[in-house]
Amino acid sequence: MSDSNQTEHLQRRLGARHLNMIAIGGSIGTGLFLASGSTIATAGPGGALLAYALIGIMIYFLMTSLGELATHNPTSGAFFTYGNKYVEEGFGFALGWNYWYNWAITVAFELVAAQWIMGFWFPDIPGFWWSGLFLVIIFAINSMTVKGFGESEFLFSLIKVLAIITFIVIGLASIVKIMLTPNVHAFANWTYKDAPFVGGFQAMIGVAMIAGFSFQGTEMVGVAAGESKDPKKTIPLAIKQIFWRILLFYIVCIFIIGTLVSYDDPHLIQAASNNNIALSPFTLLYEKVGLAFAASLMNVVILTAILSAGNSGMYSSTRMLWDMAKEGRAPRWFSQLDKRGVPMRALYATTAIAALSLLTSFVGKQEIYNWLLNMSGMCGFIVWLGIAISHYRFRKGYIAQGHQLKDLAYRAKFFPFAPWFAFILCTIIMLGQNYQALLGPKIDWLGLLATYITLPLFLIIWLGYKVKYKTKLIPYDKMDVRPLQDD
């Protein structure tokens, strides 16, 4: 395929700080800056906070599971490789394709969200052009060497982190100021009307899916492991730091917004229903405390966050497609790297899917936005299910073959409770997402299709491969649990 090792293997040039920021870049985007307002408007401050906390705990378990897998077998194939080696070939095949189109679709989703931001400043320019421009920028960044991509993502994510820290400081200072004001109840919004919990169980389930979408991207560490300098050291460190930072950001930000903005605030509801960037809960808070300039500046930060999330998604999905092609699970044409070690052919294919954002000029932003959100959210939960199942079976196989846990470079805690907890919670959230569509006098088939379309697609890919190649569940004693040798 090539005449040098440089064009056969990805380059291990990402350090711990790059891994941190790639995961943060992938997970902090529209989920925090836009969808957080929707969660509070739907389930109240208590419901939103509880949903994010539950998903956060689940993510912690999944990240430790991924940490054990990724340090033992650091590869850009990640979930595809783990499903293939530790579960069943068809399962890994379907998981890999699911992850690829998950993030390719998410890039398109982020580009649609960017149209709302640019529409706030330039209402007369069709959003089609903004999506096209930002798609070109994201493509250009991903065309650079992995070191160049890592540095750019580090910068993008640093801007987001500083903006969130500033928001937290201003928000907490505002709460303290209210607490020091005589005869004013600082936490009135937590007891207002139906607060803190609004909408019951169905609202909680719906919010949990949004919260799950918000956390998607933390698993990118598993994909980036294939290009990290010292996986056995950088991955455990990155996993610990990423989880606590992201959980802190989400939990504290939801608490601040829920405390300072009522769940039935007309602006919050309008932002939730119309995806109005001008009414982002972050922007609303700055306006409430009299910082109009900061509110305008926040929109610039949100644009950076969205592009950063799309940038990380493009990287992750491209590497997944390249690895599947290298292993013969995707057309071999995508397995070629250029002289710099960049999988340009896989990047072309991913960019083509991300171009779905351009359909907004024909269908409409809101329709495309909702469909992409539903598809991406469900795909993400399928990936998490795959991580839980793969880790559970890996650990069982590792022990069954006589290996000692102390020999693992990183050992996940709370086994087997952790993967079982993640599996059960993911299943409940996925299946309960739109169950009310079946309860009315007439079944809402379009609603069911929009919500669950990725589930039958995943099953068709899995079962189709299984039937064609007659694959079976891999026995624990036959499982390949050898650690991956560095190139």
Better pLDDT: 110 or 69: 69
The CATH number, out of the four listed (3.40.50.720, 3.40.50.300, 3.40.630.30, 1.20.1740.10), of the domain defined by the range 17-474: 1.20.1740.10
Query: 393, 266, 310: which is closest to 113 by C-alpha?
Result: 310
Instruction: With cut-offs at 50, 70 and 90, classify the pLDDT of residue 91.
Output: very high
**In which residue are the tokens 């996940």 written?**
412
- Check whether 267 has a pLDDT greater than 90: no
Q: What pLDDT does 87 receive?
A: 95
> Domain spans of the chain?
17-474
Instruction: With cut-offs at 50, 70 and 90, classify the pLDDT of residue 476.
Output: very high
Average pLDDT taken over every residue of the chain: 82
pLDDT, tens only, 252-262:
989 999 998 88
pLDDT, tens only, 135-167:
999 999 988 877 777 788 788 878 888 888 888
pLDDT, tens only, 343-369:
899 999 999 988 877 776 566 666 666
**Checking phi first, is residue 217 left (phi over 0); if not, alpha (psi -120 to 50) or beta?**
left
pTM of the model: 0.86
Rounded Cα distance between 451 and 35, Å, is: 17
